[in-house]
Structures are given as structure tokens and as C-alpha cells.
Amino acid sequence: MAKVKTIYVCQSCGMDSPKWMGRCSSCGEWNTYQEMRVEQKTKAETKAETWQNDEKKKIRTPLTLDDITIGKTTRIDTTNAEFNRVLGGGVVPGSLILIGGNPGIGKSTLLLQICTQLKELPILYVSGEESEEQIKLRAQRISSGALPKTYIFTEVNISKILREAKKLSPRLIIIDSIQTMSSPHLESAPGTVSQIRECTADLQRFAKELNIPVLIIGHITKEGQLAGPKVLEHIVDVVLQFEGDPNYSYRLLRAQKNRFGSTDEIGIYEMRGNGLREVNNPSELFLSQSEVELSGSAIGVMLEGQRPVLVEAQALVSPAVYGNPQRSATGFDLRRMGMHLAVLEKRVGLALAQHDVFLNIAGGLKIKDPGMDLSILAAIISSLEDTIIDHHTCFAGEVGLSGEIRAVTHIGQRVKEADKLGFNKMFLSSFNLQGLNTSNLNIELIPISKLTDLYDLLF
Ligand code: TYD
Ligand code: MG
């Protein structure tokens, strides 16, 4: 049997030492020593591994791509459509999935909810953060049904967890926070770099050997990075990010890395009193909730991941009372707004320099898609001119510095979504109209190429 021992290794020069040192005696760097676990093989074991002995044992050899046969990798359907979508169609057996997010965003709730929805049983939910009663109370909140085949295990010792998991042989394992887990082979406290790396490596070995998928919750640091070493993100197959504004109830699930699918898909949820509700029609969350139509608002079709979402841009333009006009933007880049105002001033001839301009994106969304530009400019002009834009009109287009309207990506999907939601007019770049299939559409598409066209047509 190989003997396991721990050593401390300098992350800068690779020097090792049996004891921790503040300053490396070899390279002189400070605080670079990290605990590591090494297996000391006996002479006989090392010998058995050399290549001369390969023929006697069944050992892997290089294969051509043609020789490799694909086994049955049926994905596990979580019956949570948004979760499946982000993963690329379900959980791949034997995969390691890491979910990160700010505290209180709903990571534990999401995974417990998946336990209650999963048809393939049993499931092992390991929690190092909450007691059994707390988990039971939460489960009662999100599901009224009985859950006889969801095993809850409050344990932090990774070896004990894997031993129980092997006995139970579940279809899915959930680890509620890798930061609370610890390996008995290491002396350092849970949550340290070496512990996280060691526990994840143990979980990975287990998942691949027994073909059981493991979902791991990871904490996020103040800077918004996944806490723990970057190496964690390299070990796992999928990295998901659960995010949302604490002041609003919707939550977005994004894939940052996905070995089995696209990273463009997003899942949208709404946090309710009884758990997370899947949002199939995201536009409902971001369109205005006001009944009366007012000036200064325009609806844009933006893309969130691969999904088109209709979002309302609101602007308020009023004469500046104090010397310096104010500019403020919520959910939109302030510098980009400044650029748009300069374009309006120069290319359309609107006197905005003497006006305060406030911009807001409804629903607390943060816009990165340049396709929203046209709706933002329309909202600003609408407020300046105090003219209402009909709420069945929407916009998609990027605005350039010379006031030209540029084409946006995935225009077909955007048009289809607007049509589906009952909009009857859509302004878009004339370049986008070329080659667009407009059959079966009820929506009227209005191509424009310059900002002045928009102004003339609308106001
Ligand atoms: P939680 O899953 O504990 O967050 P995390 O594991 O990411 O730290 O979510 C906690 C928050 O969710 C808490 O503030 C209460 C809220 N919540 C609801 O609004 N509805 C619910 O049904 C549940 C279970 C939680
Ligand atoms: Mg939690």
C-alpha cells in the first residue's frame, strides 16, 4: 500500500518542506507554501508501473478517433426546464458541476428543488452548512409531496461522505458548499486552498469511477470570483453562476464553462415564497407594469445569452436647473449613454447639452447588448419631445458614431419573439432586413439606416 503523507510546497519555485514556512528558503518569496498530499509508493509499486510491464496488465493504449466507440451517455432529465437548458439538455452521468453565487441568492434552494423534481432516485444531499431540520423545513416550503428517496447527510468529512455514497449508490450527489468539506488526510482547516482542491479531486475520482454526477455549491468572494483556487474551475466539467439583484426577485443561471453544451444559454427563475418558479417568458418581468402610456419609454429587443427578451428603456430629459447638466444611468453604461447623447446632438441636431438626462432599464436588468441602443435613443428623444411611443412598437439596432443604424445578431429570433408577444411594429437596421424570412409574420418591420430616419418616422 502506498503511504500518504503531507508536505508543504512553494507555489513559486516548487521547493518542498515537511513544515510550513513563511518565507521560502530557496527563492525568498513570502507566503507561498501550501499544504499538499503525496502518496509515497513502495518500490514494488513503482516498478509495477513502468512501461516494461505494460503487456502483462490490461493498460490503456492510444486509440484513433475512429476506434473510439461512444457508450450510452443518456443525460439525466432534471424535469426543471431552465436547468436542463443551461446544462445543454440534462445532467451528464459522471460529470462534476460547480454552482457559484453570492450568499442568499438561492443556490441551496435551487438544488433542493431539483431534488424534489428529479424522477431518478435516490439522491444524496450532503450539507455542511445546515442541520437536517433546517433542510426539512426548506423542503416543506418548496414542495408539499413526500420525499422518501432523498437522503440528507450532514457531514463534512469527505471520506465518510464518499463511503456512504458508495453504499447508497445514488443517481445524483449534491455537496452543499465545497468550502465546508474537509479531507482527513490534510491538517489545514476547511475552506483553504489545499482542502478545496483535495476534496474536489476526491469527488472527481468518485464521479468518474462510479459514473454518478456530483453537483457542488461554491461560495463567491467579495470580488465576485469563485472562492478557492482557480484550479477548481479546471477540474470540474461545468461551472454555473447563479446571480440576481437582491432587490428584485428574478434570478439568472448562466454557464461560464460547459464541456457538454453551449455557454450561451441562460435559465431564468423567479424567487417566490414557495421556492423558485421557472420563467418561460422572460419579457413579462422586464416590461413596464404601468397601464397608461407615457413619453420617455421605448421597448427594445435584446439578447440575453441565446434568448430574446423584450426590455423597456425609460428616459427622463428635463431642462437643467443648475449649471452642469446631470447625467445618470441605471442598468446601462454611463459612458455609452454620453456617446449616444453626443450623436443625437451632432447628427440629429437636438439641443441636449442644456438638459439633465436620466436613463433607467426597467426590472433592474444590466444591459450589455448593443442591440438596445436604438430603443434607448428612442426613449431619450421621446422624453425630450414629450411624444408617446406606442407600446406595441419595439426596436432593435446598434447606433454608430455617425448616426448610422447597424445590424444586430440573431435578428430572426428577435423578430419572432416580438411577433409572438403581440407587437405590431419593429424598427430595425435596413441591413438586418436583407435575407430575413418575413413570411408568417404579423409584425410590420420598418427598416431604417440613419438616426434621422427614426426621428422623422416617429416624431
Ligand atoms: P438560499 O438557498 O439559502 O441561498 P444560498 O444557498 O445561495 O446562500 O436562499 C436563501 C434566500 O432565499 C433567503 O433569503 C430566503 C429566500 N427564499 C425564498 O424567498 N423563498 C423560498 O421558498 C426559499 C426556500 C428561500
Ligand atoms: Mg446555502
Q: Is the pLDDT of residue 292 over 70?
A: yes
pTM equals 0.80
The model's pLDDT over 20-65, given as tens digits with 9 standing for 90+, comes to 889 989 888 898 888 888 777 677 766 665 555 555 555 678 888 8
CA of residue 242 to ligand 1 center, whole Å: 12
Which residue among 271, 272, 274 is best mutated to probe the pocket of ligand 1, counting the most ligand atoms within 8 A of its Cβ? 271
CA nearest ligand 1 atom 8, residue: 104
Does the structure show a pLDDT above 80 at 93? yes
Question: Which of 337, 292, 343 minimizes the C-alpha distance to 315?
Answer: 337
Fold of 79-279: Rossmann fold (3.40.50)
pLDDT > 70 in the chain, percent? 92
Between CA 339 and CA 342 the distance in angstroms is 5
Pick the residue whose CA is nearest to atom 13 on ligand 1: 104
Which ligand approaches the C-alpha of residue 102 most closely?
1
User: Who has greater pLDDT, 127 or 1?
Assistant: 127
pLDDT at 59: 67
Of 157, 149, 98, 95, nearest to 124 (Cα)?
149
Question: How large a percentage of the chain has pLDDT more than 90?
Answer: 51
- How do the domains of the chain map onto residue ranges? 3-55, 79-279, 285-458
pLDDT confidence band for 118 (50 / 70 / 90): confident
Backbone angles phi, psi at 239, to 5 degrees: -120, 120
Asked if residue 224 has pLDDT above 70, the reply is no
- Distance from Cα 158 to the centre of ligand 1, integer Å: 25
Ligand nearest to the CA of 180: 2
Choose the weakest-confidence range: 129-138, 180-189, 443-452. 180-189
Quickly state the pLDDT bin for 435 (edges 50, 70, 90).
confident
Q: What is the pLDDT of residue 70?
A: 74
Higher pLDDT, 404 or 262: 404
Cα(169)–Cα(166) distance, integer angstroms: 5
Confidence of residue 290 (pLDDT cuts 50, 70, 90): low
Distance 115 CA to ligand 2 centre (A): 15
Q: Which atom of ligand 1 is nearest to the CA of 275?
A: 22
Q: Residues lining ligand 1, judged by CB closer than 6 Å? A: 101, 103-109, 138, 141-142, 271-275
Closest ligand to C-alpha of residue 178 is: 2
- 71 or 242, which is more confident? 242
Beta sheet of 123-127, edge-to-edge order = 150-153, 123-127, 172-176, 214-218, 96-101, 238-243, 250-258, 266-272, 275-278
What per-residue confidence (pLDDT) applies to 54?
Answer: 53
- Nearest residue by C-alpha to atom 15 in ligand 1: 104
User: Which residue out of 109, 270, 272 has the highest number of ligand 1 atoms within 8 Å of its CB and is therefore the one to mutate?
Assistant: 109
Q: Determine the 3-state secondary structure of 197 from DSSP.
A: helix
Q: Whose CA is nearest to atom 12 of ligand 1?
A: 106
Least trusted range by pLDDT, from 39-48, 52-61, 277-286, 443-452:
52-61
286 pLDDT above the threshold of 80:
no
Local confidence band at 86 (pLDDT 50, 70, 90 cut-offs) = very high
pLDDT value of position 289: 65
Per-residue pLDDT at 210: 92
Output helix, strand, coil percentages for the chain, rounded to the nearest 5.
30, 30, 40
Q: pLDDT band at residue 277, thresholds of 50, 70 and 90?
A: very high
The DSSP bridge pattern shows strands 275-278 and 266-272 to be antiparallel
- Taking the CA of residue 273 as reference, the ligand 1 atom at the shortest distance is 20
Could you give the angle at which helices 158-168 and 193-210 cross, rounded to 10 degrees? 10
Confidence of residue 317 (pLDDT cuts 50, 70, 90): very high
Asked if pLDDT for residue 1 goes beyond 70, the answer is no
Lowest mean pLDDT among 123-137, 164-178, 270-284: 270-284
447 vs 280, more confident = 447
Task: Tell how far the Cα of 130 is from the centroid of ligand 2, in angstroms.
Answer: 8
Least confident of 36-50, 104-118, 358-372, 395-409: 36-50
Nearest ligand, measured from the Cα of 253: 1
- C-alpha 129 to ligand 2 mean position (Å): 7
Atom of ligand 1 nearest to the CA of 129: 6
* Average pLDDT value for the chain: 87
Kindly give the distance from the C-alpha atom of residue 127 to the centroid of ligand 1, in angstroms, as a whole number.
15
- Mean pLDDT within 428-445: 88
Of all atoms in ligand 1, which is nearest to the CA of residue 176?
Answer: 6
Cell 456617446 sits on residue:
339
Please give the distance, rounded to the nearest whole angstrom, from the Cα atom of residue 100 to the centre of ligand 1: 14
Cβ atoms of 231 and 191 within 8 Å: the answer is no
Over range 427-452, report the average pLDDT.
90
Q: What residue owns the CA closest to ligand 1's atom 18?
A: 273
CA distances from 408 to 343, 344, 403 (A): 19, 20, 15
219 versus 329: which is more confidently predicted?
329
On the CB side of 316, CA atoms within 13 Å amount to 9
**Can you give the pLDDT at residue 237?**
93
What is the rounded distance in angstroms from the CA atom of residue 140 to the CA atom of residue 133? 10
Q: Residue 425 — pLDDT band, cuts 50, 70, 90?
A: very high
pLDDT, mean of residues 347-366:
90
Which span out of 10-14, 176-180, 184-188, 287-291 was modeled with the highest average pLDDT? 176-180
pLDDT, position 51: 53
CATH 3.40.800.10 fits 285-458, yes or no: no
